[in-house]
Copies of this chain bind each other. A is one copy, B any other.
Amino acid sequence: MIKAALTVLLILVAMSSTFGKYIPKTGKRSVQTLSRGWGDQLIWAQTYEEALYWSRSRNKPLMVLFHLDDCPHSQALKKVFSEDVELQRTLDEDFIILNLVYETTDKHLSPDGKYVPRIIFVDPAMTVRADINGRYSNRMYAYETTDLKLLKSNMQKAKKLLKSEL
């Protein structure tokens, strides 16, 4: 009797998991996320238009992060970036954030070329903060894993000038 009930239960579970659901030929996929591993607990904008709108309406600076899945520098930065609790908290509370694996049509987001990883700050008045940059003169908006402290001080800069402008 218990065996029969278990069998029925198993069949029901099997049915409920396939009924009305599309499974690709290559097998079930993991769901794609907007964070892409850069901070699963943060709320990421999907597009630049959305991010600009949020930035303006909430009066918070925007951080745009360009990266690539097959770029080892991006992946290394992602690891330290996502594991830094202080950085993640500041982003969550004081910034609008967007990460992109494709360039936008807006040239202002590539002041000195298109490369990854690249971090650009934009103020709520929609001005790209080309003055906030990393330590490399040939790729001014690039950050390495050892530049996290500089990145955090740049985030404070993005917040401060904003306040003094008000």
Q: Chain A: residues with CB nearer than 8 A to chain B? A: 20-24, 28-29, 31-35, 39-44, 46-50, 53, 83, 85, 88-89, 92, 100-105
Contacts and interface: CB of A to CB of B under 8 A. Distances in A.
Count of this chain's copies in the oligomeric assembly: 2
A85 B22 CA distance: 5
Contacts of A44: 32
Given A22-B89, A32-B33, A102 B49 contact: yes
Nearest to A34: B32
A41 B23 contact: yes
- Residue of A32, A53, A88 with highest tally of chain B CB at under 10 A: A32
B46 A100 contact: yes
Top 3 A-B pairs ranked by shortest CB distance?
A22-B88, A50-B102, A32-B34
Contacts of A34: 32-34, 46
Contacts of A102: 46-47, 49-50, 53
A162 to B, nearest CB: 22
Contacts of A41: 21-24, 28-29
Contacts of A49: 102-105
